[in-house]
Chain A
Amino acid sequence: MFRLGKLAFLNTLRNKRRSLLTVIIIVVSFIVLSIFQGYINSQRISWREMLIHGEYGHLQVFHRDYFEDDNTALEHVITEDQFKTLAGVMDKIPEIGYYTGRLNLSGLIGNEYASKIFIGSARDVSELAELHYFSPVKDGQFLTEERPDGILVGYKLAEKLKAGVGDEVMLMAHSRLGSIEAINATVIGLLNTDSYSVFNEMGVYLRLESAEELILGKLYHYIVILLDSYDSIPRVKSLLEAEIGKSKLPLVVKDFAEVATFFMQVVGMYEGYFLVALVVLAVLIVFSLTNTIYMSITDRTKEFSTMKTLGIRDKTVFALILLEGTFIAFFGVLLGLVLAYLSHLALNSLQLTLPPPPGSSDRIPFYVLFDLFRNLKLAAVFILVAALASVFPAYSVIKRNIMKGLHTQ
């Protein structure tokens, strides 16, 4: 194997210009894909962390039948006792930094001008400090202890109600007992949730205590849990599941990826773009390398025939050609890895920005995150593609007639 490897290596150096051209194509393709991958990577992680620390948390706990219901129904909810039992468990897990319960509800919001249907999210005021990445407040302020009757209303809903910050409204909803309950509230802020526009049209944020007055009970639809890091998710999830099982609570734990399905879809879409780019460049590499190897073996027809005449087996000749292609790819990928890393550093140091997305005036920072493991995977794909690109030329050599080969010049 060493002899074959040495021979293959030396053969790649025979036509340096030809090999170098192929190496350059591989290097450039690798850098392009690595940067693209680095951008997707940085976007994926930054967006993921924004969503986790802005709304979703790392984990969420639901009643096990929650997903079978209308998500504002009060049937499959977490009771106060269940919450307390789980809180006792969560307090003992060091990776859990913060947790809070939330309740969904719907009903009517009205004032002297109009009555409209609202969908509400009851939250603890402490969320402002912990889940602060997105500020949904367009005008006014977030829920606060100082204003127990304060609510936030979607800005479009507020327009329909002709209400602004400081105006009073009334909320009506079904209690858990079936009665219709109402509370007076003051608009202390207007909501603008870009990603979830239905909340602008119909949304109301209110304190958990206010929701309790409406539904006549202390209930939660789900609990949001923040951990010390994303990597802690599997461990904490399994710990909670074990404790839930032990305490026979009718609850399920979902991680961020299970809850934020649209995030995973968008990531999947980016990965799809990446795959398309990978395929396009892989085809380019296949053509380039196949061409290089074909030219090389055409020049060496007599050489291969001589080897076969001397008793070198077809599979050895096949392996030799495959190795030559793989070596070229290996040099390209090795150089590509180093240059891709340096390109990442260079791009990040330039502090480039991308144009702002629709509805925003802030330019997006262009940041690329070099992930060694993902780059090594990419390198492995390149080498595999190169090996495949060498298969056809290698096959053509072993099928070639020895005598004809011996008599070529």
Chain B
Amino acid sequence: MTGSTPAAIIIRWADEVGRMKIKIENLQKSYKLSRRVNQAALRGITVEIDQGEFCAVIGPSGSGKTTLLNILGCIDQPTTGRVYFDDCEVTALPERELVRIRQSLIGYIFQFFNLIPTLTAFENAQLPFWYAKREERERYVKNLDRLFAEIGISELKKRYPGQLSGGQQQRVAIARALAHFPKLVLADEPTGNLDSHNTGEIMALMKRESKKLGASFIVATHDLSLLEHFDKVIAIKDGMVERVTLNKNDETR
């Protein structure tokens, strides 16, 4: 990553110091349903995520969890409000810069795994560093090898998604999200499509890797039984932060 654009600077900075703080200021998002009717999805969210924090966003369906994750993932823009990655206001960046941020700083885990069926598990996991230079690529592949081994899917590398169970696919998706040493991992209902056994394992896996890599995790979930896994729980209701809970019972707001 070279250059002196805001994206290049924040990517280089985050890479050098190995961490990134996320600050969300008065985030609002509304969707136009018709010419006169707007639907507010977020109504002024202000929250901070510290480096390496394993964080949950909870709330009922339609509360704005996914919208918040989309904006943090730089695939959507707020109507008003700002998102900062350290000192860089990513909500002010053009799409070209956001693509770079997505490539370098963010990992994504989806509810339905979203693996490309024509690529093997290992090829799927290499997608985030499609454009990486040779040395970078070698570093990322090495990390992937480690991740596949730790996650216990080394023997599945050459299998196609159609040949994997749901739990195995989500493990591949987690490896994909972490392969390029992202500073922020966004997971939208990552266990929503898994049985309870796999859910527990996936949660433990994500938390372990979060601590190991120092990446902040923001996990959207409506499964309240999972909250014990998180450092911080942000409860959203009707597009607003209802409460932020630290370490289970440490309520700050």
* Chain A residues packing against B (C-beta within 8 Å): 3, 7, 10-11, 13-14, 302-303, 306-313, 316, 402-403, 406
Contact = CB atoms under 8 A, between A and B. Distances in A.
Given A7-B119, A14-B118, A303-B116, A310 B76 contact: no
A402 B75 contact: yes
B79 interface: no
B75 A311 contact: no
B127 interface: yes
**Main DSSP-derived SS at the B contact region:** loop
Contacts of A310: 102-103, 108, 127-128, 130, 176
Given A311-B103, A403-B70, A306 B116 contact: yes
A225 B41 CA distance: 87
Contact of A10 (B76, B99, B118, B130): B118
A312 B127 contact: yes
A316 B128 CA distance: 13
Interface string B141-178: 00000000000000000000000000000000000100
Contacts of B76: 402-403
B122 to A, nearest CB: 12
Contacts of B118: 7, 10-11, 13-14
Contacts of A10: 118-119
Nearest to A314: B99
Given A312-B127, A402-B76, A406-B75, 18 more contacts: A3-B130, A11-B118, A13-B118, A306-B114, A307-B116, A307-B127, A308-B75, A309-B73, A309-B108, A310-B108, A310-B130, A310-B176, A311-B99, A311-B103, A311-B104, A311-B130, A312-B130, A403-B75
A402 B131 CA distance: 20
Contacts of A313: 99, 131
Contacts of B62: none
B130 A302 contact: no
Interface residues of B, number: 22
A306 B128 CA distance: 10
A356 to B, nearest CB: 58
B117 interface: yes
Enumerate the 9 nearest inter-chain pairs by beta-carbon distance, A residue then B residue, closest first: A311-B103, A10-B118, A306-B114, A311-B102, A402-B75, A310-B128, A310-B127, A403-B70, A309-B108
Nearest to B95: A314
23 contacts: A3-B130, A7-B116, A10-B119, A11-B118, A14-B118, A302-B114, A303-B116, A306-B108, A307-B116, A308-B75, A309-B73, A309-B75, A310-B103, A310-B176, A311-B102, A311-B128, A311-B130, A312-B130, A313-B99, A402-B76, A406-B75, A406-B110, A406-B114
Contacts of B130: 3, 310-312, 316
B38 to A, nearest CB: 17
Contacts of A307: 116, 127
Contact of B117 (A14, A312, A403): A14
Given A7-B118, A10-B118, A306 B110 contact: yes
Q: Quick one: which of B100, B130, B131 has the most chain A CB within 10 A?
A: B130
A3 B116 CA distance: 13
Nearest to A14: B118
A308 to B, nearest CB: 8
A11 B76 CA distance: 28
A406 B188 CA distance: 11
Nearest to A405: B75
A406 B131 CA distance: 22
A50 B99 CA distance: 66
A310 B140 CA distance: 15
Which of A14, A303, A311 is the most central at the interface, judged by chain B CB atoms within 10 Å of its CB?
A: A311
Nearest to A10: B118
Interface string B73-115: 1011000000000000000000000011011100010101010
A20 B233 CA distance: 52
Contacts of B108: 306, 309-310
A302 B113 CA distance: 11
Nearest to A311: B103
Nearest to A304: B116
Contacts of A406: 75, 110, 114
A309 B116 CA distance: 13
Contacts of A403: 70, 75-76
A314 B21 CA distance: 28
B133 to A, nearest CB: 14
A311 B110 CA distance: 15
A308 B128 CA distance: 10
A375 B114 CA distance: 43
A313 B101 CA distance: 12
